[in-house]
Every structure is written in structure tokens, then in C-alpha cells.
């Protein structure tokens, strides 16, 4: 039997430029990508894994340094009894100046290089690992499997590849049925950041740590074993933090304190995770949404808001107070329509919000 951990899309060095973090949070998050990856290395050592399969995008070429690569080398050397298999993806592709080529790796590190699919034999483990590394940032056509023979004398056969299961992609399009037809025991896929076990012999590991609010839910790695042509795999949640999106529907009868408690009692680990909370519905017009969220910051590791609320107004009082202005005329006109209709009611409230903020009294 052989045992393996399948990971990828780690993106060490990512700057988080396109995320709504402040600088300090981004720096902390970059550090956590490293620490979680190092925990994975420790996991493979402590659980006597035969292979660590890294399915591309280990790091961000644009921001990675030679010092970072030497750090990786030291981390891998410390796991000398684990065979570390690496294919390059579109973010760490193997150009002539790739940092992959700038250090001397320990004997347990195997990086696929060159044109097309290659193979590495591990006779002591009765295993052949196949892999393909990118050499450019986009690959629109896939001819890899047309004339390649996976007939290895080894019993265990694994393919590690970075690409997208799609008929039309700029990122090495892969056909699921064609992959299923390959004579392989396991296919370790990278590129898609959401983990997905496609079958007992094929899976996307997903990103090791979620990178933004587009990556909601658990993140981790795939753990598996192969014995007598029987492959068993499972997803192992492993990330330090999660990104959580919560939509909360409120109404005009809720007080400041009601909404405050609703946010306070949100499920999840508030001390660890990133929260994006959307408020939707009607809200009393004198409740300050910014204040609601500012007052919550001490109770959350990270919280940001989406305010889709519509201020609720006492229409009769406003009509009386502004009876001789455009605001009073606007209220009378809108009340003549069907305010039970959601669109009409929203139009009334949006209009009032604009008029009252501008205090148009002509």
C-alpha cells in the first residue's frame, strides 16, 4: 500500500492586491499561507506519507524571491522521507528564468520539467508518477493524451496535472471522460480552488487556504491510499481560517439593538474567520449601519459589510412636514400607486432618501 497527500493552489507570496484587506491583514494572510503549508509538510511526516503531490501554483512567480525558494528547499529537506512531487501551473510556470531552477533540491523532491507528460518511477514503492508542468501562462489546446501510453509495469499509477475540466478554457482544457478512460489509479488535479472529489480516482484538491470571499467554505487537501488497485480518498479540512458570507434579512420593526444582536449571534468561528455580512430589507431611517458594524469589530477577527438596506420612513409624518415641498408632492404621487408592490415601494424609499439627504424643499 502507498499513502499520499494531494495539495496545490497554495499561492505562496500572494499579495492580496485584489482583496478588500488593509495592508496589515494582507501581510498576516501571506504569513498564514506559509504556516499552513508547513503544517501540511509536518502532517505528511507524522503520518508516514509516501508522497506529497503538489498540483501546480505552489507560489506566485511575480512576487516570489530566491530567498523564498531557499526557504521552500529547507522545508522540503526537513521531510526527507516523503517523496515530494511538483508540477508547475500557470502562476509558477517553468520559464527559462524560473526560480525552480535556481536551487539544488534534496533527493526527495521531484519537479516535472520539459515538454509533454513525463514519468518518474519509484520501484521500491511499485509506483509510477506521471506529471506535466506548464511552461507559459496560458494553454488553450490540449494534445497531451493523444499519443501518450500510460502502460507502466508499476502497479500504482498516478497523474499529477494542473488544468480545467472544460471544453473551452485558456488553462489547459481537460475532458472528464477522457481522464476517466486513462489507465490510472489516481489523477491529482489542480487549478480549481474549490475542492471536488470527482470519483474515487480523481479529485481537485482545491486551495489549501481560501484566498478571498469567492472561496467560501472548507479548504484543505485530499488524502488517499492505493492498495491492490483499490484507491481510497477523502477530503481533509485543514485551513487556518475560512471566508464566510452571511446574508441577513431585516425589517423596519427591528431596532438598532435587534440588528446588533443578529450580527453578534452569527454562526461560525468569529475569533478566526473572515466574515462578509450583507444586510438586506427595510431599516429604520435613523439607524446608522456604519455604526452597527464598527461596534462589532472587537467581536470578530475580521468583518466587512454590504449594506443593501432601504431606509423606512413615516410617510404620513413626512407628508405633513413637507406638504408644501417637492418631497410632499413626491410622497402623494407615490402613495397614489400600489405601495404593496416591492418595486414601487423601493422606488419611493430610494427617492425619499435622495431628496431628504439633499433637503430639496423647493
For the cut 80, the answer to whether the pLDDT of residue 340 exceeds it is: no
Question: Rounded to the nearest 5°, which phi and psi values hold at 118?
Answer: -125, 170
Alpha helices in the chain (DSSP H): 23-46, 66-77, 176-181, 256-264, 289-294, 315-321, 326-335, 342-358
Confidence category of residue 361, pLDDT binned at 50, 70, 90: very low
Contact, 81 vs 51, CB < 8 A?
Answer: no
For the cut 90, the answer to whether the pLDDT of residue 313 exceeds it is: no
CA nearest 124: which of 83, 162, 164?
A: 83
CA nearest 33: which of 14, 48, 56, 54?
A: 14
Q: What letter would DSSP give residue 124?
A: G
pLDDT digit string (tens) for 79-128? 999 999 999 999 999 998 999 999 999 999 999 997 899 999 999 999 99
pLDDT digit string (tens) for 4-35? 999 999 999 999 987 888 899 999 999 999 99
Percent pLDDT > 70 in the chain is 99
Give the pLDDT of residue 358: 67
- C-alpha to C-alpha distances, 202 to 123, 181, 251, 258, nearest whole angstrom: 23, 11, 47, 47
Confidence category of residue 362, pLDDT binned at 50, 70, 90: very low
Give the pLDDT of residue 3: 98
Rounded CA-CA distance 79/98 in Å is 23
Q: Domains for the chain: give ranges and CATH numbers.
A: 2-237 (3.60.21.10), 243-358 (no CATH)
Give the pLDDT of residue 319: 79
pLDDT digit string (tens) for 239-287? 999 999 999 999 989 999 999 999 999 999 999 999 999 999 989 888 9
Alpha helices in 214-325 (DSSP H): 256-264, 289-294, 315-321
For the cut 50, the answer to whether the pLDDT of residue 46 exceeds it is: yes
pLDDT digit string (tens) for 197-239? 999 999 999 999 999 999 999 999 999 999 999 999 999 999 9
Kind of pairing between the strands at 156-162 and 186-190: parallel
List of residues 6+ apart from 311 with CB closer than 8 A: 282, 283, 284, 285, 349, 352, 353
pTM value surpassing 0.85: yes
Give the pLDDT of residue 350: 81
Give the pLDDT of residue 325: 87
CA nearest 34: which of 87, 71, 83?
A: 71
Q: If phi over 0 gives left and psi between -120 and 50 gives alpha, with beta otherwise, what is residue 342?
A: alpha
Amino acid at each position: 500500500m502507498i499513502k499520499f497527500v494531494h495539495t496545490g493552489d497554495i499561492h505562496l507570496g500572494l499579495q492580496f492586491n485584489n482583496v478588500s484587506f488593509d495592508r496589515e491583514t494582507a501581510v498576516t494572510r501571506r504569513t498564514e499561507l506559509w504556516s499552513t503549508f508547513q503544517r501540511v509538510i509536518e502532517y505528511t511526516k507524522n503520518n508516514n506519507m509516501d508522497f506529497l503531490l503538489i498540483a501546480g501554483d505552489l507560489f506566485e512567480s511575480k512576487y516570489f524571491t530566491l530567498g523564498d525558494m531557499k526557504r521552500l528547499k529547507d522545508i522540503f529537506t526537513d521531510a526527507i522521507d516523503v517523496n515530494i512531487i511538483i508540477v508547475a501551473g500557470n502562476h509558477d510556470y517553468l520559464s527559462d528564468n524560473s526560480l525552480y531552477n535556481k536551487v539544488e533540491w534534496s533527493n526527495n523532491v521531484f519537479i516535472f520539467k520539459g515538454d509533454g507528460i513525463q514519468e518518474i518511477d519509484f520501484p521500491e514503492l511499485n509506483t509510477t508518477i506521471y506529471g506535466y508542468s506548464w511552461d507559459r501562462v496560458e494553454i488553450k489546446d490540449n494534445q497531451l493524451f493523444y499519443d501518450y501510453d500510460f502502460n507502466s509495469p508499476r502497479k500504482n499509477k498516478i497523474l499529477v496535472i494542473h488544468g480545467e475540466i472544460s471544453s473551452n478554457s485558456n488553462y489547459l482544457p481537460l475532458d472528464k471522460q477522457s481522464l476517466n478512460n486513462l489507465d490510472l489509479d489516481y489523477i491529482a488535479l489542480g487549478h480549481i480552488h474549490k475542492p471536488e472529489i470527482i470519483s474515487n480516482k480523481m479529485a481537485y484538491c482545491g486551495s489549501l487556504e481560501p484566498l478571498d470571499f469567492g472561496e467560501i467554505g472548507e479548504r484543505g487537501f485530499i488524502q488517499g491510499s492505493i492498495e491492490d488497485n483499490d484507491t481510497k480518498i477523502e477530503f481533509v479540512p485543514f485551513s487556518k481560517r475560512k471566508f464566510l458570507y452571511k446574508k441577513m434579512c431585516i425589517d423596519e420593526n427591528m431596532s438598532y439593538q435587534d440588528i446588533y444582536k443578529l450580527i453578534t449571534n452569527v454562526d461560525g468561528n468569529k475569533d478566526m474567520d473572515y466574515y462578509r455580512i450583507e444586510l438586506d430589507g427595510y431599516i429604520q431611517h435613523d439607524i446608522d449601519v456604519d455604526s452597527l458594524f464598527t461596534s462589532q469589530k472587537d467581536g470578530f477577527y475580521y468583518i466587512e459589510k454590504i449594506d443593501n438596506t432601504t431606509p423606512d420612513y413615516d410617510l404620513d409624518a413626512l407628508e405633513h412636514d413637507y406638504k408644501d415641498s417637492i418631497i410632499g408632492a413626491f410622497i402623494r404621487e407615490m402613495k397614489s400607486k400600489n405601495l404593496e408592490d416591492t418595486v414601487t415601494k423601493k422606488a419611493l424609499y430610494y427617492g425619499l432618501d435622495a431628496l431628504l439627504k439633499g433637503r430639496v424643499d423647493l
